[in-house]
Structure 1
């Protein structure tokens, strides 16, 4: 993949995953205008708790993969769909240090050994050090055959330009949002941005590593910088940047308000208060699944916000039951 001059292309969004239950395909396109390459953004699609998006960007002669699912088994389905195209994978980009975004990397590396593995420096360091134990957890859940992610072939930087079939793709790095560092990929000619976990569309995001102060500000900047773009989120359906970013800000504000108004009036989060806040979140966002697939995710999210705001959990809660979040 090499730097290339700015060109205008045609975007066709394909939502497909061969052999995956619940898969669906939807294709949209804009008018052709001196196109030198058509790009397709493929989103393997699976409904339900724990659903996570991986994307592959297909040009006439090569493919770029963005994130690799939470397990080798799920990744192998995407690998099969890519192999069916007969095109080489030029690069694999890992967006951030969350296991559902790099857990299936092994399948891609084995299938496409010539692909260049790319990460931001912070992401590579986090995966290598694994202070949150995500790699170890993947090993426990996937068995002895699982191998930890290798070091990247190259580190990518903010505003670096990649290409797929000579169409420019620009790297954008965000810090202190849902994760310490999140990599996004913008395709200016297509007015599309692959934003990873800066947005979870109609799903409860994971606050384990989040910065609840900086995240909304980053979403506001995203709206200003990419107004009119289509946003492809880390979880959930693609949609307009302005709409998805505004919805995410509203969600963060609502959940934070539950902690500030209902839980931390005395700086101590009781079991009753946390259960009431979980019920309020579920009532305000009915039918939403969690991005992690874990039953206690909302409880853990609230506990994370309590800690960030300087509060404490009631004695004994650290190992308490899941309550209303079961």
Structure 2
């Protein structure tokens, strides 16, 4: 039965790859500044993940690399069409849906392409310490690379660093323990563009299973004050939007989850299956427009368990 479900999921993914979409935002800047176009490749619509590529006069900078090899090839076709070199790849965090396409882009680069990531992200890709790569291989087979074929970051970054590529200067903010074990933000201050991975998402159920929700809330509140109000967050799932709206919505969702779980824990210090169902029902009512992942149908339950363990 399980193998049949896995086959069905893979068939759906193969079909949905062809329904993926491209979006572009043009940013015309002051004199002597490069003209920047931010392209968003979203795939597939039922389990959407964003891959961004920034086009400047000098070349292309990638933010993350997508989930699957097949999806990366679709995005690469669009990138090659502009006839500019890939100047660098910036990885935001060590979740497989954001680096599975790395081999495709590295192989397509004319020269050795620099790959930027935090030390924690580098170590996780190298060791598969969370077992995510192994799980993807088992579920999706040849459309996800083996651990040994995933190019490792060759430039380790930390908070306070700057990255200069294609006439642009990215400011690095590395934040451990939020949606994942670490998230690296890349900020273009002159363009008012913040590339945030899954630190903030839009109308998408976040991952809270690691038990970092308290730390994540503190980071969100702090980051909310760091950027001009016109800053756009280009994140991992959903449509980009202004920093204030997205961070407020992210805070509200996490606070709601923590409140509902805390109320369930108040009596006997556990969240029963019945209480889990009640929490899910309330979340679906309050956030009916929030999407979940096709391969993580029980994400809400996993989040409840993660927060319950954290609060206990």
> What is the TM-score with the length of structure 2 in the denominator?
0.87
| Aligned positions of 1:144-293 closer than 5 A | 146-148=145-147, 149-228=150-229, 229-291=231-293, 293=295
The answer to whether the 8 A contact 1:235-1:291 is kept is no
Deviation at 1:211, TM superposition (A): 0.6
Deviation at 1:115, TM superposition (A): 1.3
Which residue of 100, 109, 113 maps to 1:115? 113
Residues 28 and 265 of structure 1: CA distance in aligned 2, closer, same or farther (over 3 Å)? farther
Which residue of 54, 57, 70 maps to 2:54? 57
Kindly indicate whether residue 142 of structure 2 is the aligned counterpart of residue 140 of structure 1.
no
The answer to whether the 8 A contact 1:207-1:301 is kept is yes
Which residue of 74, 96, 99 maps to 2:96? 99
Give CA deviations for 1:253-307 in whole Å, capped at 9, x if unaligned.
0111110013443112211000110111011111321146421111111111111
The answer to whether the 8 A contact 2:264-2:275 is kept is yes
The alignment partner of 2:171 has SS state of: strand
Any gaps of 5 or more consecutive residues in structure 1?
1-18, 311-326
| Corresponding residue of 2:124 | 126
The answer to whether the 8 A contact 2:24-2:37 is kept is no
| Corresponding residue of 1:38 | 35
| Aligned mates of 1:28, 1:36 — CA distance in 2 | 13
The answer to whether the 8 A contact 2:64-2:99 is kept is yes
| Aligned mates of 1:302, 1:247 — CA distance in 2 | 19
Deviation at 1:20, TM superposition (A): 4.6
Q: Which runs of 4+ in 1 moved over 6 A?
A: none
The answer to whether the 8 A contact 1:49-1:293 is kept is no
Which residue of 21, 36, 44 maps to 2:19? 21
The answer to whether the 8 A contact 1:263-1:274 is kept is no
Residues 22 and 124 of structure 1: CA distance in aligned 2, closer, same or farther (over 3 Å)? closer
| Aligned mates of 2:60, 2:25 — CA distance in 1 | 18
> What is the TM-score with the length of structure 1 in the denominator?
0.84
The answer to whether the 8 A contact 1:231-1:241 is kept is yes
Any gaps of 5 or more consecutive residues in structure 2?
1-16
The answer to whether the 8 A contact 1:206-1:292 is kept is no
| Corresponding residue of 1:73 | 70
| Aligned mates of 2:137, 2:158 — CA distance in 1 | 29
Tell me how many residue pairs correspond in the alignment.
291
